[in-house]
Every structure is written in structure tokens, then in C-alpha cells.
Amino acid sequence: MLDLEKKTADEAAAEPAARPIVLSRPLVAAYTADPEAEATLRTAMADLADKLTLVRGNVSVAIRELARSPTPQVLIVDVSGTSDPLVALDDLAGVCEPDVKVLVIGDRTDMGFYREITRGLGVVEYLYKPLTRDNVARLFLPVVHGRMPGGAEQVGGRVITVSGTHGGVGTTTVAVNLAVQLAESTRGYVALLDLNLQTGAATTMLGVKAGAGLRVALEEPERVDGLFLERTAVNVSDRLRLLAAEEAFEAPPAPTAEGVSRLMTLLRRRFNYIVVDMPTPADAALLSLYTMAQLRLLVMTPDVVSIRDAARFKAMLAAVTGSDKAVTVLNRAGMPGGVAANLVERGLQSKLDFQIPDIPKHLALAADLGVPAAARNKTFCAAMQALTKEVSGVRVGARRGGWLSRLFGR
């Protein structure tokens, strides 16, 4: 049996207070499979009043609803009667923002299950039925009020950098369409960060206007507060946000290492995936992003300059991160006058990981219309789907792949 009675509120108070409440997200949502559990939660959390939303249904209902609605800051889910609660929690991770604090109730009483979901999967706390008002008040309420138990995992989304061997190879095209497809296929929360602060094209390709504040965040991190993302990120869809800038040519931005670190900390708390459109070459302060990234994409075209600069890029990676590993994406494969793919591989001394066929007219038209190219061209869409699968680790159109890999970006 789980001896949860031995846990005390003092243990929960050992962790510093959580980040400031984001007003656009519900505070607590609880999905319970039976009226008894619902009544206990309602009574024990009566002081929350309208900040507590109670829904009748188990973890499956939570997955369906959260795939199309905002993630609460604290989520209580009921896994009672679920044939495989670990798989269900895995699916739940794919539709929630990474910083959500998950509390689980169920009918399993063995210590092994408790340890697996709290130590292995990052669930903050687990209570087995029947619930008591005392247990809920002592073990769930401290989490709601921002006091995490000692040893709780630091969550964080997966960072993917998209770099080009040189300008004009289609780096932003790949980054934009990758972000769009990640949001659509995984139903996870995705941030697209365009760090071409003066010449970025992500806003044009998505048909939106840049928000204000990105430059300030990178240059003056002390001015970034908990509501920064609410003011700066532009809503592209219910699951995709864009952070971009259109800075004047006469005033070059000067990002700082502290600004980059602070910004990425905020983004990794809120998003399952952060796709970063990197400038070529990157400012010195931005090089740390390659160290943070779980995956680095290198976009090139079939020409001698790209082959040369791919080697230079990998040398830079090795110097900055200790590894030159990057996923090579050959854009405009088969273009007239271009180098054949097999000769590109010979020049790289390695195999190409992905190839995107040459369809310049379709891409140019999509960019001018402010519509993602993958939505207008089936050939391009198929190529991007293969890349999306590589990045997410899941089958396109399905929410599978591993709680740790998606929720914690590990």
C-alpha cells in the first residue's frame, strides 16, 4: 500500500514559489470519473471558488478536451479503470503545455506504480481512491498554491534550431512549415522563434504582423516578466505562436547571452516544441542555442557554395558544442543547373538526411499569399511530413512517442 500519509506539507514547501500566474490560462481543472471523488475535490478545494473547474470524465476525456482548449496551470486527472494508464498519460503529455503540474488520482495502490509516474514520468503527486479531504488539502493544495514537492522535475520543451548554409537556401521556409506541421500533427504547443530580427520573413509567410518586445527580451532580460509571452507572442493558431521582430536597418540589435537564456527558459516552460529560425551567421550571443538544442537542422541547396559552407557550419558546431552532428536538409533538390544529390553527398562525405524537391513557383506564391507552402502543395507537404516525424519522434497525425521525450524534451 502507498503510505501517502507520511508526506507532510513541509516537504511541499521546500520548493520556491512557482512562476507568476498567467491570466489567460485556467488555474485548476479536475477530471474525475465518479461523483464521490468529484465531491471530495470540491469540498477540499472550496477556497478556490471559480478558479476550480470540475469535469466528469477520466483521463481520456481530458485528452479530448485539452487537445482543443487551453492547458490549465494545474491539472488533476483520473486514471481509474484505464487499461494502460502510462500510455494514457503519454497521450495527455502531447496535448498539454510542458509546464503544467499534473496531479493523478486512481485505483492503483502499489508503490511501484506510484514511483513510476512520480519519479519516472514527472507527475507531481498521486492519490489513490477513496480520496479524503485531508489528503487532498495536504498533498494537492500546496501544488495549486505554487509549492512544488522537493525533487520535482524541471520541465522543458524540445528545442530545434533551423540554420542555413547561407542566405536564400530556404531556412525560413523549412522552419515555418515545420512549426505549422508540428502543431497540427502532434497537437502539442509550438513556438516559432524568428531570430532574423531585421530581415525575418516568417511573419510574411504566415500572414501576420510581428509583435513587440522580442528585441527588448534579448537585450534587456531584466525587463522580461511572467507575462512577456502574452504580450509578445503572435497567435498563428490555437497551438502555434510566433515570436518575431522587424527592426530598423540603421539600428542593429545586440542580443546578450543572458537574454537568450532567459527567453529560452520562458519558452521551454510553455511550449512542447520551440523551432528557432537561426540567422546565418549567428550572433555570438545566439551560439548557445546550439548547445540547448535537442536537434539541429542544416538547410542547404545543391550548389558548391552550400557544400563548402556545410563543412564550415559543422566545424562551428564542433567548436561550440563539442559535436558536429546536424540533420542535413537538401532544399530545391533537382533544380535546373544544380549539383546532383549523389555529388552533394560526395562533397559532404556523408548521406543527406532529407530532400525537398524543387518547386519554386509554388513556394513563392505561398509566401506572397501568407499561407504555409505545405498547405498548398502535396509534394512539399509530403517532404515536410517526413521531417516532422524525425523532429517529433511520432507518427504524423498521432500523439505517441514518450512522455519524457515530449514533456521534458529529453
Domain 4-144: CATH superfamily is Response regulator (3.40.50.2300)
Common-topology check for domains 4-144 and 158-407: yes
Please state the domain extents for the chain.
4-144, 158-407
Name the amino acid, one letter, at 40: T
Cβ(335)–Cβ(358) below 8 Å: yes
Query: Per-residue pLDDT for the chain (410 aa), expressed as one digit of tens each?
Result: 444 434 433 433 333 333 343 446 889 999 999 999 999 999 999 889 889 999 999 999 999 999 989 899 999 999 999 999 999 998 898 899 888 999 999 999 888 898 888 877 889 999 999 998 888 988 999 999 887 665 444 457 889 999 999 999 999 999 999 999 999 988 889 999 999 999 999 999 999 999 889 999 999 988 887 678 778 899 999 899 999 999 999 989 999 999 999 999 989 988 999 999 999 999 999 999 999 998 999 999 999 999 999 999 999 999 998 889 999 999 999 999 999 999 999 999 999 999 999 987 877 787 777 888 777 788 888 999 999 988 886 544 344 443 333 433 33
Predicted confidence at residue 24, as pLDDT, reads 64
Nearest to 406 by CA among 131, 115, 186, 111: 186
Predicted confidence at residue 367, as pLDDT, reads 74
Name the amino acid, one letter, at 7: K
Predicted confidence at residue 148, as pLDDT, reads 63
- Rounded to an integer, what distance in angstroms lies between the CA atom of residue 257 and that of residue 192? 19
Domain 158-407: CATH superfamily is P-loop containing nucleotide triphosphate hydrolases (3.40.50.300)
Predicted confidence at residue 3, as pLDDT, reads 46
